[in-house]
Amino acid sequence: MMEKLYYQIPTLESCPATVLACEKKEEGFEVLLDRTVIYPEGGGQLSDKGFLNDTAVLHAREENELVWHKTEAPFEVGAKVIVRLDVETRRDHSVQHTGEHILSGIAKTLLDTANVGFHMAEDYVTIDLDKFLDDAQLEMLERAANLAVQRNIPVTVRVVDEHELENFRLRKQAKGLTGEIRIVEVGEADSCTCCGTHCAMSGEVGAIKITASAKYKGGTRIWFACGMRAVEASRREHTLLDALARRFSTKPEDVYDAVKKQGDEYAVLRAELKKRTETLFEMQTETLLKNAKSSKGIKVVVHAAQGLSAQELRAFSEKLLAGGKTVAALFGVNGGSASYLLARSADVSFSMRQACEAANALFNGKGGGRDDSAQGSAPIAGESAFLQAVSQFEGYLLRAVS
């Protein structure tokens, strides 16, 4: 039977082993050994990484009690190898996993909510709890979990027979376990069946930081980071907050007020701009209608202006059409493209959808709409070519409405 040294001596970093089998896979090879220190993916925990001699072990998986090591190079059956563990990766996984035990155990005792899901990825870890926790409860949970870390409680593993299980009060018990079962305890903080790797003492977890939470299936999904991941998460947040504080020339603790103040000022300026733009449209409407060319009693207003949004084009067209017997073609130029709005008053029968097809062809644009109004957009290759096309479009409209 294969020796799983990662269970027998969790601190062991390397061991000699013999190659029992090596299979070619679609990508690389899978190597079976008589013993290993490399923990295979399982129980929600990621696989260890490591080396067979100097060849990297990229992943390990367990099947029928056998651990298969994924490598890029083959090994001869019977070859003697040294199995080495990537200690940093193991430490990171064990720290996240032990943190998960503490967080889940304390969530149960403190807030009577059960862990119903656990997922560890290379860059994040989540647990799902069966109750919704508000911000105050999350803060309470994080604080209590970190106090358990600070108390530096021993993390113990017992291997018991399946018939002995009923003698233990466990937070969680995996279903369908038979034979020898591993029970992991973090003092009074947690106790459950588990097959992962863990720290020896809770203090090794360093810190548990809840980084995000969301409502999930009637409960809460919590994203958290332990140990160096918690330090890195805090560093990223600090860097971001520091950049914001510099941008607003204020202290980090005053950033929220500064952002809120700017938002309030922006809302006032937008309202003021809208008012002034409307005044401008009214003045321009008068001039444009006075100078507009007509065909069969229908005024054709064609106008291009810088920086007008689709919403502003709409507001402008409503003013131009208010007096009736008018067709308006408005172009808002923004950088290298123009958006256009084609609209008619209710007493004009010519279809703006048809006019839009002509505009699409003339400006090499895309757009469409209804008989009373249509819109589109087109790239602008050069200013003079664009203005020439605008003038051509005016000619088209004058012919088309008659």
Which residues of the chain form contacts with Zn ion (CB under 5 A)?
184, 194, 196
User: Which C-beta is closer to Zn ion: that of 98 or that of 137?
Assistant: 98
Report in angstroms how near the CB of residue 199 gets to Zn ion at its nearest. 10
User: Which C-beta is closer to Zn ion: that of 36 or that of 191?
Assistant: 191
User: Which C-beta is closer to Zn ion: that of 30 or that of 185?
Assistant: 185
The CB-nearest residue to Zn ion is 194
The token pair at 119 is 């997922």
User: Which C-beta is closer to Zn ion: that of 120 or that of 397?
Assistant: 120
Report in angstroms how near the CB of residue 202 gets to Zn ion at its nearest. 12
Using alpha carbons, select from 119, 125, 123 the residue that is nearest to residue 96.
Answer: 125
CA 152 to mean position of chain CA atoms? 34
Report in angstroms how near the CB of residue 115 gets to Zn ion at its nearest. 11
Report in angstroms how near the CB of residue 101 gets to Zn ion at its nearest. 5
User: Which C-beta is closer to Zn ion: that of 50 or that of 196?
Assistant: 196
Report in angstroms how near the CB of residue 27 gets to Zn ion at its nearest. 30
User: Which C-beta is closer to Zn ion: that of 196 or that of 376?
Assistant: 196
Report in angstroms how near the CB of residue 168 gets to Zn ion at its nearest. 15
Report in angstroms how near the CB of residue 222 gets to Zn ion at its nearest. 17
Sign of the CA dihedral with 386 first, then 387, 393, and 395 last: negative
User: Which C-beta is closer to Zn ion: that of 56 or that of 160?
Assistant: 160
